[in-house]
Amino acid sequence: MNETKFERFNLKPFIIEAVKELGFYEPTEIQERIIPTVLKRESAIGQSQTGTGKTHAYVLPVIHSIDPTRQEVQAIFTAPTRELASQIYQETLKIVQHCPQGQEISVRLFIGGTDKQRTIEKLKTQPQIVIGTPGRISDLVKEQALVVHSASMLVIDEADIMLDMGFLVDVDYIAARMPQNLQMLIFSATIPEKLKPFMKKYLENPKYIHIEPKQVTAAKIEHYLLPSKHRNKLVLVHQALLHFNPYLAIVFTNTKKKADEVADGLMAKGLKVGRIHGDLSPRERKKMMKQIVDLEFQYIVATDLAARGIDIQGISHVINYELPSDLDFYIHRVGRTARAGYSGVALTIYEDSNEDALNRLEKMGIEFKNVDFQNKEWVELEDRNKRKNRKKQVDEIDLKAKSLFQKPKKVKPGYKKKIQHETENFKKRQKRLQKKK
């Protein structure tokens, strides 16, 4: 490929070279709007759904803005999880490895679960780009090992998750020690009310860039609904996984306890299952991610944090063992599949109490296919709303009949039988008319 539409941003030649090698031709919508903003040294809030290419929207222009002759911290990228920080680090390395000789840019990753003392010793030379989790970065600042007052760019990725996990305190600590003319870039899938005071504190007149999803979920996701009907959900999940025979499937639960329960249950049925949730130790987590990347598992059980903080390649199927209470997480969960133009399947096992949530998802534009296992066979069912609509129509006919045939003011003998007879005839006629329609 000889050309790329990224050339119009006038990024340094080595960045364009890296972009070509990565196979990027046309910028995504968020890249189109964020890159010029960052290059103009303006602060911005970028709101977009998962999988829209936001990492490169800030990585490319920030690398362009680094002065390789200044051996001091110039930019800090923060992310809520070690995995996400590690991914941003890997993506940044892919760009900076193209730096011309003598103009190299140093990038360092600082996350928990690594030897802090050894990290401090290695900080005699400050990196130009710092990437990491807020807790570890603020620790290094407190130890006076990492000097951040020289950095004029701060990126906060997945800000709403930062808020949920209580990391904004650490981000605030870091930002307060950076220069007054700080360029701050905040990325978040949602902008919760509790995030606004923090943004107001540091952002005077930021550019707000909201990328409306063209579709709530990727075009190539098929959404299936499987009624639990008071059956053992573990059996249903096991049947579904065997039926799908996925390249890689991720089963979502709402709690860590339930994730362990489902993972143990599937393992007892002979499946090799990986698990990702907050109770794993740093070492276990690192080992698990390596095994997943090395395709040692065909099945993973995870909590919602994994839906946002981790980018696992090649997920072909997502199964919701239970619907999340926050429906935004349905979008984030299913957004793990059908990435980069591939197709994917999302199956949700639902209960009668989920009806309202399913109706809301349908109003958001998600079209479900209804399926079930009958005699161990996978069958498509008619729309679950069909029976409900039929009952509604019958109720409407009853109401109409009652309003038409009421007790007359002057009654004659046998009036009750007559009204009953007329009402029944009316209802029969109405039902026949509906069937014809």
pLDDT digits (tens, 9 = 90+) for 374-398: 887 888 887 776 655 444 444 555 6
Using the Cα atoms of residue 11, residue 132, residue 104 and residue 17 in order, give the sign of their dihedral: negative
DSSP conformation class of 124:
T
The 10 Å Cβ neighbour count of residue 179 is: 13
Cα(222)–Cα(368) distance, rounded to whole angstroms?
A: 8
Q: What pLDDT is recorded for position 408?
A: 56
The whole-angstrom distance between residue 61's C-alpha and the CA centroid of its chain comes to 24
Could you tell me if 62 and 75 are in contact, meaning their C-beta atoms sit under 8 angstroms apart? yes
Using the Cα atoms of residue 285, residue 286, residue 287 and residue 288 in order, give the sign of their dihedral: positive
Collapsing DSSP states into helix, strand and coil, what is residue 76?
Answer: strand
- Please name the residues in contact with 80: beta carbons below 8 A apart, sequence gap of 6 or more: 133, 134, 157, 158, 161, 162, 165, 167, 308, 309
Q: What pLDDT is recorded for position 186?
A: 94
Tell me the CA distances in angstroms from 436 to 142, 249, 397, 425, 428, one per residue in order.
Answer: 77, 45, 16, 17, 13
Q: What pLDDT is recorded for position 1?
A: 44
Q: What pLDDT is recorded for position 392?
A: 46
Cα(120)–Cα(142) distance, rounded to whole angstroms?
A: 11
Could you tell me if 130 and 85 are in contact, meaning their C-beta atoms sit under 8 angstroms apart? no
Q: What pLDDT is recorded for position 151?
A: 96
The 10 Å Cβ neighbour count of residue 428 is: 11
Question: Tens digit of pLDDT for each residue in 245-273?
Answer: 998 999 999 888 999 999 999 999 999 99
Q: What pLDDT is recorded for position 50?
A: 61
Collapsing DSSP states into helix, strand and coil, what is residue 142?
Answer: helix
Residue 373, φ and ψ in degrees, nearest 5? -100, 120
Could you tell me if 308 and 161 are in contact, meaning their C-beta atoms sit under 8 angstroms apart? yes
The 10 Å Cβ neighbour count of residue 345 is: 21
Tell me the CA distances in angstroms from 51 to 341, 413, 422, one per residue in order.
Answer: 11, 75, 62
Rounded (10°) angle between helices 13-22 and 82-96: 120
Could you tell me if 279 and 328 are in contact, meaning their C-beta atoms sit under 8 angstroms apart? no
Per-residue pLDDT of the chain (437 residues; tens, 9 = 90+): 457 889 999 999 999 999 998 888 889 889 999 999 999 999 999 987 666 778 999 999 999 999 999 999 999 999 988 888 988 999 999 999 999 999 999 999 999 877 888 888 889 999 999 999 999 999 999 999 999 999 999 999 988 888 888 899 999 999 999 998 899 999 988 888 888 899 988 988 889 998 876 555 556 788 999 999 889 999 999 999 999 999 899 999 988 899 999 999 999 999 999 998 877 777 887 888 888 888 899 999 988 766 565 667 788 899 999 988 767 778 878 877 876 667 789 999 999 888 878 887 887 778 899 999 888 788 888 777 665 544 444 455 566 555 555 555 555 566 667 767 777 777 777 767 666 55
